[in-house]
Structure 1
Amino acid sequence: MERKYFDPERIYDDNDVELDLIAPKSKRAQWRHKGVGPAYLCFGRRIKYDGHDLNSWVNSVRVSTSEAA
């Protein structure tokens, strides 16, 4: 089951504090430079993130651990 951490109907600005849940702004900039991290939209210098893309990315990097027997 895919969890929703971000509103899938919302477009988040790179300055929105909610994005600090995944990483600080400087780390997100590094990820964009390296071509990793969540998908984003670029309007000139303005960076936006689609809530649906953020949820998909967070769920894709989720680490499942198993209980020790």
Structure 2
Amino acid sequence: MATLFEQNRNYVLGDPELNIIGDRDKLAQWRHKAMGPAFYRLGRKIIYRGADLNEWAEANRFEPAKVRRD
């Protein structure tokens, strides 16, 4: 499994590491549409766990099909 994020770290909006998956607006759109990585809403604060981000990234991993050339 990919470890793009520190497993035991919590990330909050504004952390530059979150820009890997999307900017603040994109993350807000995903939350509104119930898409994207799991998150916690504590009052007005949004928190992403590193373990959840890595799990989401792995689930969205794309492996291009090998092209057969004759």
For the aligned pair, the TM-score class normalised by the smaller chain equals over 0.9
Distance 2:2 2:62 in 1: 13
Unaligned runs of 5+ in 2: none
Q: CA deviation at 1:68?
A: 1.1
Computed over aligned residues only, the root mean square deviation of the Cα atoms, in angstroms, reads: 0.6
Please tell me whether Structure 1 or Structure 2 has the larger radius of gyration of its CA atoms.
Answer: 2
Q: CA deviation at 1:67?
A: 2.2
What's 1:26 paired with? 25
Deviations 1:42-61 (A, max 9, x none): 11110010000000000001
TM-score by length of 1: 0.94
Counting matched residue pairs gives 68
TM-score by length of 2: 0.93
What's 1:43 paired with? 42
Q: After TM superposition, which residue ranges in structure 1, 4 or more long, deviate above 3 angstroms?
A: none
What's 2:5 paired with? 6
The aligned amino acid for 1:17 is P
Deviations 1:18-66 (A, max 9, x none): 0000011100001001100000011111001000000000000111112
Unaligned runs of 5+ in 1: none
Distance 2:39 2:13 in 1: 9
